[in-house]
Structure 1
């Protein structure tokens, strides 16, 4: 039997509440390493040492890869990094590629979580992140302003206090993958508000809004000069 777009839309509409429940279970659980790390004072030198493990994938500058294999981490909010790292270690967020590198045996305990999060947050951001095709930006802007501004802000700056990530300057292909996983119930630590907000987004909507987001620029003071190399690893 051929499944039409109308039938698929109906199936997704009925499935959305189930997917949302699965995807949002434990969105921001308190306790454990997250709370412990949040209460610590960062050690810059240990942050550098800890980040060296992370740099194997996220690159020495913290800029990830434009193909979206690895996200840009540079400039991200401290609380967001702590939450995501703690969630991966607690297996509340599925990331089999990162998990072996994030274990305490590799990078240390809650102190190292705080140290590396604080270090990453101070790295200047990529001046040339990967962007989308640019063919539906008017729709993307409308969708962003109607659905995303309340949490992610006018320019994609997010909120450290509320654990909302910066999404400006992020690679388009990474944004697409995470949006798909959140919308389709694959990312278990997703914010339930976002799951509900984007449940009805079509693939066209998704591509348009994330193309627009990928072109949002952080404040100029947060962006590195072209050709910048992290001096902490410039051996």
Structure 2
């Protein structure tokens, strides 16, 4: 694991130039946010291999942790339980440079995790990981406004409880770390996350700072179904060496 950590630090520096932030207000072409093609389409139609999913996930665990729970400070998101299609799309987009992620990019390369088959394998493995029972949440001081904003603006795509939609590539957001939600929301609003759904980009432009904090605090407190959540202290047995 130490070797993976050292590799992460080195490659993150080397590939930092791949980040192409967009200035606020600059027009961004998001018309092709999910037209598919390439590795995305290929991976979606492959039969996942469980053992290779485990082997591939070991690379991912350097950041997302062995449980797939990320870090509560939001540096790395929880990915455990994420929809199969969503994980495939994000990996394929990062590899094709449709989504700027200089930290993750070197780990997502075919030379590191393999081709489309490995994308399908690790996405299936991640989907079955039980979710964090104690994700990071916000201050909890404006939840009434957050609930109203969520129901008025977010339910149509992300669902009543933040469950998302696998077929439509809408991610699960319940149980996600508050600080990660804040960062991604801001990048989407500014156009920095170029593979974001353009409907969302437009929808959140009028949100104030108070609105942002309130709705994301509310989202961070949405709970996944009990059967998807691990017991406190759960340790991934696939890496219980």
Deviations 1:57-95 (A, max 9, x none): 000000000000000000000000000000000000000
* Deviating more after overlay: 143-152 vs 190-199: 190-199
CA–CA separation in structure 1 for the residues paired with 2:177 and 2:94: 21
- Structure 1 distance, partners of 2:94, 2:195, is 9
Instruction: Please name the residue that 1:156 is paired with.
Output: 162
CA RMSD of aligned residues (A): 1.0
What is the CA deviation profile of residues 89-139 of structure 1, one whole-angstrom value per residue up to 9, with x for unaligned ones?
A: 000000000000000000000000000000000000000000000011010
Check if 1:44 corresponds to 2:44: no
Q: Which runs of 5+ in 2 are unaligned?
A: 1-23
Equivalences, count = 218
Equivalents in 1 of 2:227, 2:82: separation in Å? 14
> Cα distance, 1:203 vs. partner?
1.3
How far apart are residue 193 of structure 1 and its match? 1.0
**Which residue of 94, 108, 123 corresponds with 1:88?**
94
Residue 215 (str. 1) matches residue 215 (str. 2): no
Runs of 4+ in 1 over 6 A off after TM superposition: none
Residue equivalent to 2:119: 113
Does the 8 Å contact 1:27/1:191 carry over to 2? yes
Report whether the alignment pairs 1:203 with 2:209: yes
Q: Which residue of 2 aligns with 1:99?
A: 105
SS of alignment partner, residue 48 of structure 2: coil
Q: Which runs of 5+ in 1 are unaligned?
A: 1-14
TM-score by length of 2: 0.89
* TM-score, with structure 1 as normaliser: 0.91
Asked if the contact 1:25–1:189 (Cα under 8 Å) also holds between the matched residues in 2, the reply is no
Separation in 1, partners of 2:118, 2:70: 21
Secondary structure of the residue aligned to 1:199 is: helix
Deviation at residue 184 of structure 1 after TM alignment: 1.1
